[in-house]
Amino acid sequence: MGQIPCGDIRNFCIIAHIDHGKSTLADRFLAAAGLISADDKRAQIMDAMALERERGITIKAKAIRMEVERGGRRYALNLIDTPGHVDFTYEVSRALAACEGALLLIDASQGVEAQTIANHNLAVAAGLRIIPVINKIDLPTADVDGTRRQIKEILGIDEEPVSVSAKTGEGVETLIASVIENVPPPRARGTGAVALVFDSYYDSYRGVVIYVRIFSGTMRKGEEIKFMSNGRKYEVLEIGWWRLEFAARDRLHEGETGYVICGIKNIQDVRIGDTMTTIAEPASVALEGFREVKPFVFAGFYPSNPADYEDLVKALDKLRLTDASFRYIHETSAALGMGFRCGFLGTLHLEIMKERISREFGLDIIVTAPNVIYKVAVDEAGELKEYDIDNPSRFPQLSDIVDIREPMVTATIVVPDKYLGNVFKLLENYRARQEKIKFLESRRVILEYTIPLAEVIVGFYDALKSASSGHASFDYEHAGYQSGKLSKLEILINYEAVDAFSTITPIESAHRRGIALTERLKELIPRQMFEVPIQARIGSRIIARSTIPAMRKDVIAKCYGGDISRKRKLLEKQKEGKKKMKKFGRIDIPSETFFKVLKIN
């Protein structure tokens, strides 16, 4: 494989709503380039993780080099397969920055959905040449003409879409020709050797494998490189293309995408969106768009069996090596013992990490209710100080709080008009504020709402699907912070606060949520030999209470007849014993209770 001129290189990506056939279409490109056989039975070849295949989603971005001949010329097609979930929007934006073109894939049976709009907006913001593609035209339910109208009406794209079936391969050759014709060749950016880091992963034998796009200059094996965000320097041990396996080269040229291995053992040194340069040809300025990836959702991870704590430490350490956006710190809970406070990009990210701990390390863990970061202003001896609170147990006293700000999101919902009433009613319950509404010719409606992130992360997506019989699609982007009337809702069991059940809740709905929590816990916690009160508290005020009645042993069962005073004496003795048990007794809460309580929303 010789060097292909920069003018014959095409860097492009495929962006789509979840389950619109992105990874399957990528497989058809691989077959066209001869990297796999056309009848290869493995679906979603670029989705290497078992979780990616099972859930039908892409979690990690990947770049693969394909070479095709058309019209007597050889072209290099560098395809970047991006994540498709809202949790990974930043990774998508960095992958788009490595491209000049994007295939906007739309399912002919589903039409334009919420994430289609969000991905289209990202591609427009990145200045990419967008090629609309209608997929799944082989389905009996495909509505190609209707989808064409939606592309024009909703997205404002007048260009005629390319119709394909990624499953059968129909139309793929036409699409490849369109990529060659319409996606512009790479454009140089910066001076010196400039490369964009758009993804990385940890390999147990090679260290961190870094995916890069070369924007100017050349990078060679044996050279010393530098990351411009942190100044760290390393020697390039291996460099080359990814073609379903490592294809080592002696250098990467301007316009190419590929991988770089430097023997880096700590993935925290490699940051997505960072600029890589060489000591021999240093770049004068870093590429724009880099930012530190910060978690938005937090939850506690605790081992179900306290003896597994050390194993959980090792599991989290290994997961941190493979995922730079995952954060955790040690914490101790009075109810759950020793564990960790973990930070995630979103609830899907949380589910993936929990599932990986279970599958890869065989550990059973308790996950506490997810929370967001609140910015709390507190009056400390006349001085106003603001703190970031990601755990309700660290929430200040209500009397000390001057202001509480919570993170907000701008949500886009696409829903058929016949479900509009149900969705409006649902959004009212989630403290949502309407921003825009647009009625489409296709009897669908686009809603734009501002919603607190805390409302979105627990149960909202499932509730939306239920309200729309599964027909609504949903996407959101972060929209800063907003002041709100919030308070800490504590749960007391047998007069002792259980921090794992504490939540931050709007004051106007605290009473309703307190009743729901206490009633649910009454059903879930086993009965004891003594009466167990369950209380919901805000500050020093009890706002709801349920009581688990005591189990009663029949102590007078053997008293046949005789004096009533004997029976009274036995009952009084039992009563005194229960009082003592209530004073000194400990309530053991089953681990599954913590999971089931999350479902009350």
Q: What is the pLDDT of residues 531-549, one digit of tens each?
A: 788 899 988 889 999 988 8
Q: What pLDDT, on a 0 to 100 scale, did the predictor assign at position 500?
A: 76
Q: Quick one: average pLDDT of 20-39?
A: 81
Give percent of the chain above pLDDT 70.
86
509, 510, 512, 515: CA torsion to nearest 10: 170
Q: Quick one: average pLDDT of 120-129?
A: 89
- Asked whether the predicted pLDDT for residue 578 surpasses 70, the reply is no
Which residue shows structure tokens 């990490």?
353
More confident residue, 528 or 483: 483
Helices (H), 194-343: 309-322
Give percent of the chain above pLDDT 90.
27
- Asked whether the predicted pLDDT for residue 148 surpasses 90, the reply is yes
Rounded-to-integer distance, Cα 325 and Cα 337, Å? 26
We find that the CATH architecture of domain 6-182 is: 3-Layer(aba) Sandwich (3.40)
Identical fold for domains 6-182 and 194-278, yes or no, is no
Q: What is the pLDDT of residues 58-93, one digit of tens each?
A: 545 567 888 888 888 899 999 987 765 666 677 777
Q: Quick one: average pLDDT of 192-211?
A: 87
- Asked whether the predicted pLDDT for residue 485 surpasses 70, the reply is yes
Candidates 10, 18, 9; CA nearest to 105 is 18
Let me know: does 408 contact 480? Beta carbons within 8 Å: yes
Show Cβ contacts of residue 32 under 8 Å, excluding neighbours closer than 6 positions.
66, 68, 172, 173, 176
State the DSSP code for 327: E
Q: What is the pLDDT confidence band of residue 566, given thresholds at 50, 70 and 90?
A: low
Q: What is the pLDDT confidence band of residue 410, given thresholds at 50, 70 and 90?
A: very high
Q: What is the pLDDT of residues 319-377, one digit of tens each?
A: 887 676 788 889 887 777 889 999 888 888 888 888 889 888 889 888 887 889 899 99
Pick the CATH number of 297-368 from 3.40.50.970, 3.30.420.10, 3.30.70.870, 3.30.360.10: 3.30.70.870
- Asked whether the predicted pLDDT for residue 41 surpasses 50, the reply is no
Q: What pLDDT, on a 0 to 100 scale, did the predictor assign at position 463?
A: 86
Quick count: other Cβ atoms within 10 Å of Cβ 262?
23
Q: Quick one: average pLDDT of 106-114?
A: 90
Please provide the CATH number assigned to the domain covering 194-278: 2.40.30.10
Q: Which CATH class is domain 489-496+509-600?
A: alpha beta
- Asked whether the predicted pLDDT for residue 601 surpasses 80, the reply is no
Rounded-to-integer distance, Cα 436 and Cα 447, Å? 6
Please provide the CATH number assigned to the domain covering 374-484: 3.30.70.240
Q: Quick one: average pLDDT of 558-584?
A: 62
Q: Quick one: average pLDDT of 123-141?
A: 92
Residue ranges covered by each domain of the chain: 6-182, 194-278, 297-368, 374-484, 489-496+509-600
Whole-model pTM: value is 0.76
- Asked whether the predicted pLDDT for residue 515 surpasses 60, the reply is yes
Q: What is the pLDDT of residues 206-226, one digit of tens each?
A: 888 999 999 999 999 999 999
Q: What pLDDT, on a 0 to 100 scale, did the predictor assign at position 583?
A: 46
Show Cβ contacts of residue 528 under 8 Å, excluding neighbours closer than 6 positions.
548, 550, 551, 581, 585, 587
Rounded-to-integer distance, Cα 427 and Cα 423, Å? 6
Average pLDDT of the residues of the chain: 83
